[in-house]
Amino acid sequence: MTKKSNKILVYSLVLTIATCWGLSFLATALLVKVLDPIQILAARWLIAGLIYLAMILAGKIKLDLRKKTNYLLLVCAACQPCLYMYCENNGVKYTSASVGSIMIAVIPCVVIILNAILFKKKTTRTGVFSIILAFTGVAVCTMFSPAFSFTGELKGYFLMMGAVLGGAMFTVFASKAGDDYSSVELTSAMAIIGALFFNALNFGCGFGISTYTTILSDWRMTAGILFLGVFCSAICFLAFNKTITLMDPALANNMNASMTTVVGALAGILIGGDPGGLYTVIGLAMTLAGVILSSREIN
């Protein structure tokens, strides 16, 4: 593929990811009124896992576990969705959405550090500046909002740090796994392992089958879980894994996270009634500028 076609593909993938992940709060907001976060994660990843398992059994996806780097599939799945989503969901519960937004925006910076330490990979100066610019934009949007809160329990901050580390490690090792495994194979492993992990927690916490009977009792809850499972998990993580193969992993993470923030902030203001002002315009403009700079580094 040419550089121009790669850019078009990356823009399409990032837009898909940002739209689904940015709007996912609507489904989550509905579901958390009735379900525990663990129940939501269990049902969400069960759907994604069954989708990929069905494709493997039908012969549409061939997942070769005999390769020497097969351990990377387990490492990636352990980091994302297992570590990241467990820590993020519980971390926000003990801190605040404001703290979560800022800390998650740090992930691309941690990816740069891990890549340099583990694999001696360096990001260009333009790439580093684009990440800093996007992070500053997220901070402006968040910290100047009337709803901003920096309170929370110490446990919550440790959990959010676990989410940052999980997200960064996933991006780094997913890029490495991409040398031997396709994006579809990697996403298959993530979805199946995620389904097993979160459903084990679901039953371990005593929720059991009631998780699924509760979801199926209301069509809105069923629709919400289907959106999270099909679009936000099965499709978006496949798209995310693909972007990692087309550009610097830290910059791919920066583009996806930043655009998700932009869509989420706009949706929150237009649909959720969140406050907005000049600080929102300035912050989102900085974030978009960071995304545009990151896109210049597409292979």
Angstrom distance (rounded) from CA 252 to CA 258: 10
Angstrom distance (rounded) from CA 37 to CA 239: 24
Give the rounded percent of residues in the chain with a pLDDT score beyond 90: 41
Q: Mean pLDDT lowest for which of 156-170, 191-205, 231-245?
A: 156-170
Give the residue with greater pLDDT, 3 vs 296.
296
List, for residues 96-124, the tens digit of each pLDDT value.
666 777 778 888 888 888 888 887 788 88
> Has residue 149 got a pLDDT over 70?
no
User: Which residues have a Cβ under 8 Å from the Cβ of 240 and sit 6 or more positions away?
Assistant: 13, 17, 252, 256
Give the rounded percent of residues in the chain with a pLDDT score beyond 70: 93
Model confidence, pTM: 0.88
Q: How is residue 62 annotated by DSSP? A: -
pLDDT class of 93 with cuts at 50, 70, 90: confident
What is the pLDDT at residue 274? 66
Domain extents in the chain: 3-295
> Has residue 193 got a pLDDT over 80?
yes
For residue 112, which of 190, 22, 175 has the smallest C-alpha distance? 175
> Has residue 218 got a pLDDT over 80?
yes
Q: What does pLDDT average to over the chain?
A: 87
Q: How is residue 281 annotated by DSSP? A: H
> Has residue 259 got a pLDDT over 80?
yes
Q: Mean pLDDT lowest for which of 204-213, 234-243, 290-299?
A: 290-299
State the number of CA atoms in the 13 A half-sphere of 267 facing the CB.
17
Q: Tokens for 30?
A: 């509905």
